[in-house]
Amino acid sequence: MIKVSEYNKFLSYKKNKLFFEDLPLINLGEKFNTPLFCYSVSQIEHNLEELHNAFKKVKPLICYALKANFNSNIIKILTKRGCGIDVVSNGELQKSLKIGVDNKKIVFSGVGKTSKEIEIAIKKNIKQINVESIEELDEITSICKKINKTINICLRVNPDINAQTHEKISTGRSEDKFGISDKRVFEIFKKYQTNKFVKIIGLSIHIGSQIELIEPFYKAFKKIKLQILKLKKKGFKVSSLDLGGGVGIKYNDKNKILDIKSYARIIDELFSDLDLEIIIEPGRYLVGSSGIILSRVIRTKSGNNKDFVIIDAGMDNLIRPALYGAEHKILPVKKKNQTNLNVYDIVGPICESSDVFIKKMKIHRLKAEDLIVICSTGAYGSCMASKYNLREPAKEIFIKKKKIILSDN
């Protein structure tokens, strides 16, 4: 039994045909070239509402982490509903401003901001810059002095917490490149206490992405709360706390995802009594489940020891399997007899051995021109796409019930 709704609440089989919102995907395969990124507007709206409703005491400012997917339609959907934006480059900042995002709801994060990017952010009077090092803070001070402007700063603390996620997306351990050692926070607050150019208003933390357990969040958040209490006891004013993002989503049947209500509950319990503005920066959680890739079988291939299904989506469209060994749920658009199953490696057309989506997948027999979907591709899919092999870029469309909205990226 395929539990399709676990991946997207608006993805379902009706009479063995896969529907996305209220549209049969077989029709989209006839109307558009594949591979095709499809996003459910209703799923994005649902994810945001679910996150909002999970909090009972704290009402955080939700700043969507734009790196997850910078499609203009997504920015408009989320900011129209009150979200701010978390950016990590001038390109993301400029796009947000061009679309009309409130500059006082823009947070600039990232370990490698250039002098030019910092100066532009200061001149645009954004909400705050999350600073990753003492050296960066010194540079920001020099720039502010040069242009005679002030900026709000949150210090990104590295809490030395293992998020128990993939090695390549862990960011909160002492050996990771991100953040400032919590041992140095006090001296920085003291040094900049009377500085008229930079105003340190609080702390920031982000321990990693695709986190599936609640314990790492609890440990990190508890540690940052103790840091805030110590700062306040020393007489420093702390008015803002940015808790980052990192909540995982379901990619395959092995994933056991944390309950968003549990995540919100620990934030409520730990911080509701501290008189702070709480900021959270979800990216994947808001948009990851909204997206699918509609792809067509090019052909099947029989090998000595295994059979392959070669599809027209590749690692140029979705690099996560090649980069992280990620495994996304794959579903047939037409569901056939589930008793006689074949075992295939589902692979893309790119000239790299790493262009593999799933190995040893059990599915009914597939043939050329059959359509399949790759689930949970709303985050870190199209935004990480490349021009490798000079293949035609995949188009992106948005669906709301029966309406098709073309991407205006």
pLDDT tens-place values along the chain, 409 residues long: 467 889 999 999 999 999 999 999 999 999 999 999 999 999 999 999 999 999 999 999 999 999 999 999 999 999 999 999 999 999 999 999 999 999 999 999 999 999 999 999 999 999 999 999 999 999 999 999 999 999 999 999 987 665 454 454 444 444 555 678 888 899 999 999 999 999 999 999 998 889 999 999 999 999 999 999 999 999 999 999 999 999 999 999 988 889 999 999 999 999 999 999 999 999 999 999 999 999 999 999 998 889 999 999 999 999 999 998 999 999 999 998 777 899 999 999 999 999 999 999 999 999 999 999 999 999 999 999 999 999 999 999 999 999 999 987 7
Asked whether residue 187 falls in the same domain as residue 310, the answer is no
Q: Which residues are catalytic?
A: 351
Q: Last residue of some domain: 287, 307, 323?
A: 287
> Residue 252 belongs to a domain with what CATH number?
3.20.20.10
Q: Last residue of some domain: 287, 312, 334?
A: 287
Asked whether residue 22 falls in the same domain as residue 57, the answer is no
**Residue 278 domain boundaries:** 42-287
Asked whether residue 93 falls in the same domain as residue 198, the answer is yes
Select from 242, 249, 388 the least CA-distant residue to 318. 388
> Residue 293 belongs to a domain with what CATH number?
2.40.37.10
**Structure tokens, 364:** 């009914």
Distances (CA, A) of 305 to 261, 309, 350, 400: 46, 14, 21, 44
Please say whether the dihedral angle defined by the alpha carbons of residues 266, 269, 274 and 276, taken in this order, is positive or negative.
positive
Distance separating alpha carbons of residues 226 and 236, to the nearest angstrom: 14
Asked whether residue 189 falls in the same domain as residue 154, the answer is yes
Asked whether residue 224 falls in the same domain as residue 346, the answer is no
**Structure tokens, 392:** 């035609």
Asked whether residue 139 falls in the same domain as residue 77, the answer is yes
Taking the whole predicted model, whether its pTM rises above 0.85 is answered as yes
Asked whether residue 116 falls in the same domain as residue 156, the answer is yes
pLDDT given at position 1: 47
Number of domains in the chain: 2
**Structure tokens, 271:** 């911080």
Asked whether residue 12 falls in the same domain as residue 150, the answer is no
Q: Last residue of some domain: 252, 287, 322?
A: 287
Asked whether residue 51 falls in the same domain as residue 99, the answer is yes
φ/ψ (deg, to 5) at 29: -65, -30
Asked whether residue 201 falls in the same domain as residue 270, the answer is yes
Task: For residue 300, give every residue at least 6 positions away whose Cβ sits within 8 Å of its Cβ, in sequence order, or none.
Answer: 307, 308, 309, 310, 344, 366, 367, 368
Asked whether residue 305 falls in the same domain as residue 239, the answer is no
Asked whether residue 77 falls in the same domain as residue 150, the answer is yes
User: Any alpha helices (H) in 83-214, and if so which ranges?
Assistant: 90-99, 115-123, 134-147, 185-191
